[in-house]
Amino acid sequence: MEENIRSLITGSIRGEALYNEPLSRHNSLKVGGPADIYITPADLADLQSVLIVLGKTALPWLVIGGGYNLLARDGGYRGAVISLKRLSRLEQLDGNCIVAEAGATNDKLVRFAAERCLTGLEYLIGIPGTVGGALCMNAGAHGEDILTRVESLTIVREGDVRAKERNELNYGYRFLSLGPGEIVIAATLRMAIGKALEIEERIEAHLARRRNAQGVSYPNAGSFFKNPQGKQAWRLIEEAGLRGYRIGGAQVSEVHTNFLVNRGGARSADFIELAGIIKDKVKEQSGIILEEEVRIVGED
C-alpha cells in the first residue's frame, strides 16, 4: 500500500487500523492471508469518514461481520477490510420494534428480545455471527428467516446514510440484493409479543437441537452449502459417501456433513479443493449442483 494512502486512512479514523493483518484471525475457519489494511471504525460517524476517504483512493474494500460465513483465500485481500463489530447497539422502539445494529451478535439480539417478551427470532439463537451478516445472507432456520421481520434497513453508501423500506428490498432464500457500495448498518425489526416462559422454552429447544445435530468441535463456518430446493445439502453430501472426507487440514465433519472443519493447519486452498470435490461427487450422485453459502473473498 502506498504510504500516502496509508497516512490518509490512519489520520482520518478514530477506530483501529491494522496493516498486513492476517484474515485468519478474523474468521471462524481460521484461514486466510493478510489484508492490506483491516479497519474497525469506532462508530457510524467513523465509518462514514472511512468510506469518504476510501472513495478518494483506488483502494478496493469489503465489509465483514463476525467472519462466521467467510472463506478468505490464502493470498489475502489487496485492499481494505472493514469490520462493523463496534456498531452493536440494540434498542427497543414503540410498536414492538427493535433497532439492531450490524455488529450486534445474533445471540445478543435474541436475548435482548426475550428479556422484553418479544418473540419471532428465537431460531437465531446459536447461529454464530452478527446481525449484519444474518441480514446480508437472510439467515434463518426451520422455514423462517430474518428478513421477514424487517421493517426497514439503514444503509450507508459513500458516507451517506438512508433508510430502505421493506417494499424496496429484493431478497429470498439466503440472499439480500444490495446496490453497489451499499452497506447494511442496522435494521428495524418488527416483533410479536410473547410469554416469557414460552419464549425461553423455544430458545432452549433450538439450542438443544443445535447441540445434538451441529455439535462440531473444530473451527468451521456453519453450513458451507445452501440447501437446494426441496433438498438438504447435508443429506446429499452424506449420500455421496463424503462424511469424514479430508483434503489436507480441511475435512467434511463427521458430525454434520454440511459443515467443513479445520482439523488443524488447513489452508483456504484445502477448503476450496474439498468443496470442489463435494460438488462434483454430489452432482455425479444426484444430478444436483450445490452452491456455496459461505462467501469466498481474496486471492490465491
Q: What is the pLDDT of residues 246-276, one digit of tens each?
A: 999 999 999 899 999 999 999 999 999 999 9
5: pLDDT strictly greater than 80: no
Measured distance CA(221)–CA(69) in Å, rounded = 5
Catalytic-role residue among 174, 190, 209, 246: 174
Give the three cell numbers for residue 24: 485468519
pLDDT top residue among 141 and 35: 35
pLDDT value for 216:
61
Element (H, E) at 9: helix 3-10
**pLDDT at res. 1:** 63
Catalytic residue list contains 293? yes
What ranges do the domains of the chain cover?
3-83, 90-198, 215-297
Query: Which residues, other chains included, contact 60 with Cβ-Cβ below 8 Å and sequence gap of 6+?
Result: 77, 78, 79, 80
Does the structure show a pLDDT above 70 at 213? no
Q: Span 149-170, mean pLDDT?
A: 94
Average pLDDT of the residues in 199-203:
95
Q: Model pTM?
A: 0.90
Looking at residue 299, its pLDDT comes to 93
Express each pLDDT in 49-65 by its tens digit: 999 999 888 889 999 98
Q: Calculate the dihedral angle through the C-alpha atoms of 249, 255, 260, 265, rounding to the nearest 10 degrees.
A: -20
Among residues 21, 101, 122, 293, the one annotated as catalytic is: 293
- Which amino acid is present at 89? R
Q: Decide: helix, strand or coil at residue 268.
A: helix
223 is catalytic: yes
What is the CATH architecture of 215-297? Alpha-Beta Complex (3.90)
Are domains 3-83 and 90-198 of this chain identical in fold? Answer: no
Which of 35, 34, 61, 64 has its CA nearest to residue 50? 61
Between CA 38 and CA 81 the distance in angstroms is: 5
Distance from C-alpha of 169 to C-alpha of 153, rounded to nearest angstrom? 9
The listed CATH number (2.30.110.10, 3.40.50.280, 3.30.43.10, 3.30.460.10) that belongs to domain 3-83: 3.30.43.10
Q: Residue 70, exposed/middle/buried by CB under 10 A (0-12, 13-18, 19+)?
A: buried
Longest dimension (CA), the chain: 58
Sequence length of the chain is 300
Judge contact between 112 and 203, C-beta under 8 A: no
Which is the catalytic residue, given 24, 223, 253, 268?
A: 223
Q: Which three cell numbers stand for residue 89?
A: 447497539
Class for the domain spanning 90-198 = alpha beta
Is there a catalytic annotation at residue 6?
no
Cβ atoms within 10 A of the Cβ of 91, count? 12
